[in-house]
Amino acid sequence: MQVDFNAEQAHLTTIYQYLVAEIARLTAKLAALQQQGRQLKQSFSSDTSLNFETISDNLDTFASIEANNRQIDALNAQVDQANMRLQAAHLLKPQAYFARVDLVFDSDTPEAFYLGKVGFSGVDETNLIYDWRAPVADVYYANRLGATSYQANGRQIPVTLTKRRQFVIQGSNLLQAFDNQVAINDPVLLAALAVNRSGQMQDITATIQAEQNAIIRANAAQVLLVDGVAGSGKTSVLLQRVAYLLYQQRQTWSAENILIFTPNQVFAKYIQNVLPALGESNPVTLPFVRYFQQLGQRFGWSLPDATGRFKLLDQQLQQVVVNVDVLTHLFQDDLGQRYFQQTDPQQPLLRRLQVILRRLADKPSTAAGDLTAWLSQVDWATILKIAGPLTVTEQFYILLRLQNYHQDNIAALFIDEAQDYTPDQLTLINQLFPKASLTLVGDHNQVLKATGATLAEMAASFDQRPLVQKYLVTSYRATATITDFFAQFADNPKALKIQSIQSQGQQPQIYEQLSLATLVQELTSTSTGQLLGVITPDNQTAQQVLVALKPSLAQVTGLTGDSPKLPTSGVVVLPLAVAKGLEFDQVVLTDFATSFYQDPILGQHRRYVAASRATKTLTIINRLTGLPTSKASTGD
């Protein structure tokens, strides 16, 4: 059926004009409310006199204060409501909506629903635009024409989907409108993928695919474990899921109840615009190590190394988990002995030790987080039946158990690049967030450290909680040729069946050997306005390439894990460990044939990660020569 373009343009014009009018009306209303607030304050200060001479005077004074407070509360409620509506109108003005579905309920007459980043109603409270997270929007993403259903308020609503229409909108102008039944050939998606990278991750609301939608809306999963291939939109799905759950739980959750663990600070900056673009505030977003560093300080923790970072290495935490419940050794301190004798012998031993720790923590000479204040490392290892000394992870786990400490204020925890977490770290997370909904996304082919957890180990870390596993095997990021190239390095690529929906594109260009001087010359002559990443095995090589490029290239940036953010264009030089999770229009890989990428254990994964950072062109230098000094062979 051909789209009536004029009718859709007329509808957009009406909605756009209404949004513009609402922005003007709400702006004026907020100014008037602010003026009214100032006048109320002046009136209260002049009219209200505090008189407490008699009981009657007390009652009159309190009644007057209460009446004033009610007026202030009512005024604040109006301000909050106007601000929320104004924010929604501003979000929708550039693109009022991106899709329309026509549904038939009980009658034979289809009803049109327009879907946008947020919902917006008319003056009579009718829905002009439905939020993409609303239950009815599920039929759009599920992408099934004909008889279908969606769930709302605990009920399954049967409907018939007669139309699935997509739009490309710019302000008041309708650029494209077309009916589409097959999401894998989604022209809006293909157009979005063709746009140059901006240095900031964008939301994928208009292009969510059916398999991604199933993950975003997985309400029943207490622990959701997602394994997705490179470029399958794992991080985007994670962020859309954050927005979806905030919408679903808007009566009880806020951004303060959400926590996101990212690989590094660069990545945290890379994703920081996604949730605000959907009308949601950013939750706390930081690397896992930094979070536990801050948490450790809360317990008076003495960091074990000069760099101020936790060395969270795997050892024997599972054995600690088993044995910490049956501790049989008492604190050697006399004070600890007396405290133990004062505890209730009917209580479990762990509960009695928790009481001791709380009392000992009140001693001025004792740090709450120093387990060795009462028991030596050797003794701790002996009673827990493990080889000492204890790792930081093991010490921290024991401390949490003895303190009976967990973070109940976190309702949902989201972990990106979950494959890099050790089983011990995941066990520690499970102990710390026992009531939180957990979403872990990763790619088992992107494990870059020998300590990374397998899928089975990740699932086993949460074996006492309901767990749902989901998989994403379609890569949306790169051209088909680049996807085919990095797919060859995946574990069992034929079984995994990684596929791309993009066009073929250029074949990767491979140099057996290239000098640093020639690379500088090539990059200096490259001026495309796109984001180009030069990915090296290690920090040392990245620094050498950066130093060589700076004199002849104005727009060049070096990135480390603690860099503030990814630039919007130009050349970026960074090691593989920092590049993971990022994407670039063009990528140059150095030293692809050296021992770093040929490592018998992790080499395949490193090549997979490195090659999958490119979206349009990929250049591979097997050996980069002419470096000023010998470079390191590891990726840290």
- Cα 627 from Cα 353, distance rounded (Å): 58
* 502 phi/psi in degrees, rounded to 5: -85, 175
pLDDT over 80 (residue 247) = yes
- Cα 405 from Cα 399, distance rounded (Å): 8
Local confidence band at 300 (pLDDT 50, 70, 90 cut-offs): low
Task: Report which of residues 636 and 278 the model is more confident about.
Answer: 278
What does the pLDDT read at residue 464?
83
Q: How many helices (H) and strands (E) does the chain have?
A: 23, 23
Local confidence band at 367 (pLDDT 50, 70, 90 cut-offs): very low
Cα atoms in the Cβ-side hemisphere of radius 13 Å centred on 439: 27
Q: Is 116 among the annotated ligand-binding positions? A: no
Local confidence band at 189 (pLDDT 50, 70, 90 cut-offs): low
pLDDT over 80 (residue 348) = no
- Cα 294 from Cα 301, distance rounded (Å): 9
Rounded mean pLDDT, 314-329: 59
Q: Is 235 among the annotated ligand-binding positions? A: yes
What does the pLDDT read at residue 632?
42
The mean pLDDT of the chain is 82
What does the pLDDT read at residue 331?
47
Q: Is 547 among the annotated ligand-binding positions? A: no
Return contacts of 306-310, CB within 8 angstroms, 24+ apart. Answer: 310/392, 310/393
Q: Is 228 among the annotated ligand-binding positions? A: yes
Q: Each residue of 551-568: pLDDT tens digit?
A: 888 788 898 866 667 787
What does the pLDDT read at residue 580?
86
Integer-rounded Cα radius of gyration of the chain: 29
- Cα 223 from Cα 220, distance rounded (Å): 9
What does the pLDDT read at residue 265?
81
Local confidence band at 58 (pLDDT 50, 70, 90 cut-offs): low
Instruction: Delimit the domains of the chain by residue range.
Output: 1-198, 308-403, 506-625
DSSP codes, 497-549 = T-EE-S---PPPEEES-EEHHHHHHHHHH---SSEEEEEESSHHHHHHHHHHH
Domain 506-625, CATH homologous superfamily name and number: P-loop containing nucleotide triphosphate hydrolases (3.40.50.300)
Q: Is 281 among the annotated ligand-binding positions? A: no
In this structure, are residues 360 and 330 in contact, taking their beta carbons and an 8 Å threshold?
no
pLDDT over 70 (residue 361) = no
Nearest alpha carbon to residue 203 among 274, 123, 295, 281: 274
Q: Is 435 among the annotated ligand-binding positions? A: no
C-alpha angle 256-398-361 in degrees, rounded to nearest 5? 80
Local confidence band at 359 (pLDDT 50, 70, 90 cut-offs): low
Q: Each residue of 19-37: pLDDT tens digit?
A: 999 999 999 999 998 888 8
Rounded mean pLDDT, 288-296: 82
Strand (E) or helix (H) holding 438 = strand 437-442
For residue 499, count other CB atoms closer than 10 A to its CB: 14
Q: Is 388 among the annotated ligand-binding positions? A: no
What does the pLDDT read at residue 360?
57
C-alpha angle 560-564-567 in degrees, rounded to nearest 5? 90
Q: Is 234 among the annotated ligand-binding positions? A: yes
Nearest alpha carbon to residue 314 among 378, 384, 392: 392
517: left (phi over 0), alpha (psi -120 to 50) or beta: alpha
What does the pLDDT read at residue 153?
86
- Cα 170 from Cα 584, distance rounded (Å): 25
- Cα 113 from Cα 127, distance rounded (Å): 9
Local confidence band at 306 (pLDDT 50, 70, 90 cut-offs): very low
What does the pLDDT read at residue 318?
67
Q: Which amino acid is at 28?
A: A
Q: Each residue of 532-550: pLDDT tens digit?
A: 999 999 999 999 999 999 8
pLDDT over 80 (residue 180) = no
pLDDT over 80 (residue 150) = yes
What does the pLDDT read at residue 422?
85
Nearest alpha carbon to residue 572 among 601, 536, 531: 531
Identify the three-state secondary structure at position 474: strand
